[in-house]
Structure 1
Amino acid sequence: MAFRALAARCRRSSCDRRPARDERRHGASERCAAKLRLAMALALATLSVACGPAPLDDADASTPAVDAGAPDAGPPRAIFEVPRTGDEPLLDLPWPSDLRRTSEGTIDVRTFPNPRGNRLVQRYVDAATARLRGFGTNGAIYFRFSRAIDPASLPVSPEASVREDASVFVVDLDPESDTYLERHPMVVVANERATIFWPASSIALRPVHGIPLAGGRRYAAVVTRRVRATTGETLARDTDLEAMIAGGGDATIETARATYQPALDALAEAGIATDDVLSLAVFTTHDPVAELALFRDWMHAEYPAPTPRDATWMRVDRASYTELRGTYGPVPIFQEGELPYASQGGAMEPGADGEPVVHGEYDARFALTVPLGEMPESGYPLVLYAHGTGGDYRSFIDDGTGTRLAAAGIATMGIDQIHHGARNPTGGSPEILFFNIQNPDAARDNNRQSALDIVQQARVVPGLVVPMRVADRAGREIRFDPERVFFFGHSQGGLVGPVYLGIDDGVSAAVISAGSAVLAYALLEKEEPISIPDVVRVALQLPGVSVQDAFESEHFGFEHPVITLVQSWIDASDGSNFGHLAFASPRPGFAPKSVLSTEGLMDEFSPPGSIEALATSMRVPQVEPVARSIPAHRLLGIAAVSGAVSANVAGGQATAGLLQYPSEGHFAVFDDTSAQARIRGFLESAAAGAPAIPAP
């Protein structure tokens, strides 16, 4: 059985891996056992929702993977078939398309290629059709042909995709945008043969990771006559597109013309002759930020700020700081249903009146480390700490962050992330519950709820006063300066951090450790705490004797249709869509925030590509020495910086930099003393009013 192979692989990878320093106390055998339990639980969970003709095993390697359809036998053409019955294959019309809408205005992906009836894929099809009001900002765009396409006739790089002579390109059609008629950099790939999910003779265009399409924006993806078939035959327009352009056709074509003709007119304005257009897709992206920003703004306007529960205060005196514990509330729960949302529930959406719906409340458990030095008149500066998966409200104490910052005169505060501590009533695996791929609602909205939890955490600061009876500070209360509040997120905390920074102004500077963006990286490359590619293979029941064999056979890469489906759904909680709001283009009325990001190039929890995608989306420059360059930075004109870094972004209003650690992994900020010193210096300077990243 596939999950046995998965479990065996996890046993090998976990036992052989050198444990990170903050894991060693658990012991190798305990970590191996925990990973094995997690691997088996994930495998069983995915098998319980996936459907196939038989359990997947090595015998499936001989199963023909051509379910998505054989090559078209018609004349050489770019397939463009306007839907008439509603049950036509999704990709027979270039997709996405604004023609593919339900009567309620959501996108219609009901005919997504799922020939084997995989129930997990169907859940994402159903979720997207029910709730998405626009197409993804990170997903791929697909064109089909009746002949295989010569890759040499396609743009060879994202830079080539924006040149005037590009044979395939994507252009902004929104006349109100500042990038109207500009081309968006894309990666273009050709797929010759059919697989389970890919149709034969197709091409896919996807945005460069970290440079997503804009939200709520109309685009055209254009294939010109410069695209060639591998046979050398000349490709023609399909009859539906020809009729649409010529002004003829039936009522269905007439309706489609209302969508496509304005795009053709705009292309002509940009110098693209209609005669040169072989095929095109016209679509509108959804706005992945708007709904969460609405919830945040509603909280500030309508929901009470939390206060500490007086009876819960507890003090523990430590050698170099004072530890305080307690609870505060209320904290709103916007996800519907009951924790842990294992197979249902977890959706977060406005009510019929467009306003957020509060489905419950809870009191948050917190810990504080307070410096022993004299409190400033305005109160201590405070760091809000978001821990990684498997941690708790005291993780910042266990990993030494609280101690180091207390020595710099900075207090630190941690809370339990969702599905941790008291917020995990069933005691299930936080890894499975937070990254809950079997429940699309929870998979997306767990992270959005987490961002709003931090909004409420920041709102507690002005009223966070430690009473004299607890403080034991010569008759004085302990207070914290609401003008000097910062954020530190690691791993899962680094996942939610950029989303929070994008929607709220409760902090002015942030440290993002092993923070990632673009979910596709996790599906393809995440190897810790278990191998997610193994889980994906099980979930999709891909034939093959190994993950590598299965992925190669299915052509399962960043442009795969299933990855586009899932990524488009997750976009509303993916940091890639929120990153630019930190300092590059903040929300109206928000000041730019300073950001220090870190990347361990040996990271198997957050693949380096995903960390770099986040840095790109935030426009965070690399700090020299650069161990691995980020090609997307060249596209954006982001140059590396050196030495002590300060006031280098947002017109001098903020500081930002990405530090790379080539010999470190996921826990670089806890294992590398230089990283610790630079983070301390960054937050210390932020507390002094002039954030700077110290030189090494």
Structure 2
Amino acid sequence: MMAKRCAAAAMLTVLGATGCGGDGTTVEPPEAVGTSSLFELDVDWAADRQFYDFPFPSDLRLDANGYPNLDGFINDGDNFAVTGVLEIAPQRRGWATVPVGYFRFDAPLGELDITATIPPGPDAAVLLIDVDPDSPERGRAIPTIATTPPADDFVPDNLLAVAARQGFVLHPDRTYAFVVTDALLDAEGKPVVAPPAFAKLRDGGTPAGELGPAAANLYESLWPALQTAGVEASRVVAATVFTTGDVVQELADLGDLVRDAYDVTIEDLSVDPDDGADHPRFCELVGTVTFPQFQTGTPPFDEDGVFVIGDDGLPVEQRQEVAPITITFPNEEMPAGGYPLVMYFHGSGGLSSQVVDRGKVPFEGAAPTKGEGPAHVLAAHGFGTVGSAHPVNPERLPGASVIAYLNTDNLEAFR
């Protein structure tokens, strides 16, 4: 995600985080002059164009069960793709392992070159730091890139966007922080400053607002991590603390549940009547395989296409689908433990038979050499192979194009 706006008022030229006047009254420190980020803990971020009045992502934006709350995300043009993402993003716990951080400021920032890597260090303008108390890498800073995207239907003006440099993926289920320091300059070339609420937090206090205590608790892990990273807390003018999720593990766990609960059925196996017994290195069998299907609706899923999770944690079976399957085994004596098996996954618009027939292409524009596909190569080394028709390929959805599975019009199903 990317959007912009996260600035609030100025840096504290503090006489003390909060002091007492001579008459015993509490005196809030005055706001310093300068460009600062929005750090609003007492406004409704879902209200009109206030989504970026607090940094994003943040664990303060998770609901009680750890799911992201994206209410108020700016989508002025009702872009269907963004709407689709907003529908599915809150269905997974935690934040992305390839995140983008957003900070909205109250005045324009200086230009930033998004192609320039920002190396981590005490003088970096922005940082991405592991702040997890249980992490073996606590205090490790990751190279970043940053930019100030122009205002549009999705982001407001004066937004700073920060991300890990391409190629860096964060660990799942770990807490990190995007950090902005006074090395960042505004459009006038002056260092940005901390808004009062963040300055109070940084100096050990609890900011005002309903979320003040929660913010103080969340940011406790940041300060020691900064010290480990060699960054002076006094130079930090904005930060957001967030915990990554683990969608890969969630999907793997769901897959394990499905495999344990269901069996697939292979039927009508026979030697391919075309040339199944004629290959010099292997024998080719063809048949059908029946798969349980869990997506609602019907292919190609212009509508529906989602899982309905039952009380047992399993997706509810919607129907069954029969697909062609090709199996090969080497023309040699089978080992005592059976032939090792390689599963072939065809590509866009591919067929179940390509494990056999997608051979060498002798010249540009020529057809692949039939019978010399992966099965031919692997049989020489004692491997069997198997390939079946994948969802929304032409064998399972007649007339399907090579990109029919790329369902960008229904991102909930595409996921």
Amino acid at match of 2:170: L
d(CA) in 1 for partners of 2:114, 2:403: 40
Name the structure 2 match of 1:285.
244
Name the structure 2 match of 1:294.
253
Assess, with a 3 A threshold, how the Cα gap between structure 1 residues 260 and 155 changes in structure 2: closer, same or farther: farther
Alpha-carbon distance, 1:120 to partner: 2.7
Name the structure 2 match of 1:687.
none
d(CA) in 2 for partners of 1:376, 1:323: 18
Alpha-carbon distance, 1:154 to partner: 9.6
Alpha-carbon distance, 1:274 to partner: 2.9
Alpha-carbon distance, 1:227 to partner: 1.3
d(CA) in 2 for partners of 1:169, 1:122: 30
The structure where helix makes up a greater share of residues is 1
Name the structure 2 match of 1:431.
403
Name the structure 1 match of 2:283.
322
Classify the secondary structure of the residue corresponding to 1:327. Answer: strand
Match of 1:216 among 170, 173, 188: 173
Assess, with a 3 A threshold, how the Cα gap between structure 1 residues 312 and 405 changes in structure 2: closer, same or farther: closer
The two structures have a TM-score, normalised by structure 2, of 0.78
Q: Does the alignment pair 1:147 with 2:107?
A: yes
- Percentage of matched positions with identical amino acids: 29
Amino acid at match of 2:147: A
Name the structure 2 match of 1:503.
none
Amino acid at match of 2:310: G
| 1:475-624 aligned within 5 A | none
Assess, with a 3 A threshold, how the Cα gap between structure 1 residues 366 and 192 changes in structure 2: closer, same or farther: closer
Alpha-carbon distance, 1:183 to partner: 1.5
- Residue ranges of structure 1 left out of the alignment (5+ in a row): 1-66, 445-696
Q: Does the alignment pair 1:405 with 2:370?
A: no
Classify the secondary structure of the residue corresponding to 1:230. Answer: coil
Alpha-carbon distance, 1:222 to partner: 0.7
Name the structure 2 match of 1:441.
412
Alpha-carbon distance, 1:283 to partner: 0.9
d(CA) in 1 for partners of 2:312, 2:271: 42
Match of 1:388 among 347, 372, 381: 347
Q: Does the alignment pair 1:240 with 2:197?
A: yes
Match of 1:420 among 365, 368, 393: 393
Alpha-carbon distance, 1:119 to partner: 2.8
Amino acid at match of 1:198: V
d(CA) in 2 for partners of 1:150, 1:377: 70
Alpha-carbon distance, 1:266 to partner: 4.1
Amino acid at match of 2:350: G
Alpha-carbon distance, 1:380 to partner: 3.0
Deviations 1:507-539 (A, max 9, x none): xxxxxxxxxxxxxxxxxxxxxxxxxxxxxxxxx
CA contact (8 A) 2:198 2:207 kept: no
CA contact (8 A) 1:366 1:416 kept: yes
CA contact (8 A) 1:224 1:278 kept: yes
Alpha-carbon distance, 1:239 to partner: 2.9
Alpha-carbon distance, 1:271 to partner: 4.5
Assess, with a 3 A threshold, how the Cα gap between structure 1 residues 217 and 350 changes in structure 2: closer, same or farther: farther
Name the structure 2 match of 1:96.
57
Alpha-carbon distance, 1:178 to partner: 2.2
- Residue ranges of structure 2 left out of the alignment (5+ in a row): 11-33, 360-372
Name the structure 1 match of 2:16.
none
- Higher radius of gyration, 1 or 2: 2
The two structures have a TM-score, normalised by structure 1, of 0.48
Assess, with a 3 A threshold, how the Cα gap between structure 1 residues 371 and 248 changes in structure 2: closer, same or farther: closer
Q: Does the alignment pair 1:126 with 2:84?
A: no
d(CA) in 2 for partners of 1:146, 1:175: 33
Assess, with a 3 A threshold, how the Cα gap between structure 1 residues 271 and 361 changes in structure 2: closer, same or farther: same
d(CA) in 2 for partners of 1:68, 1:176: 31
May I ask how many residue pairs the two structures share in their alignment? 368
Name the structure 1 match of 2:132.
174
Name the structure 2 match of 1:4.
none
d(CA) in 2 for partners of 1:282, 1:413: 47
Alpha-carbon distance, 1:265 to partner: 4.7
Name the structure 2 match of 1:22.
none
CA contact (8 A) 2:199 2:237 kept: no
Match of 1:196 among 144, 149, 153: 153
Assess, with a 3 A threshold, how the Cα gap between structure 1 residues 278 and 185 changes in structure 2: closer, same or farther: same
Amino acid at match of 1:140: V
d(CA) in 2 for partners of 1:221, 1:288: 21
Assess, with a 3 A threshold, how the Cα gap between structure 1 residues 81 and 348 changes in structure 2: closer, same or farther: same
Name the structure 1 match of 2:363.
none
Assess, with a 3 A threshold, how the Cα gap between structure 1 residues 138 and 72 changes in structure 2: closer, same or farther: same
Deviations 1:69-90 (A, max 9, x none): 8x99995212222352242432
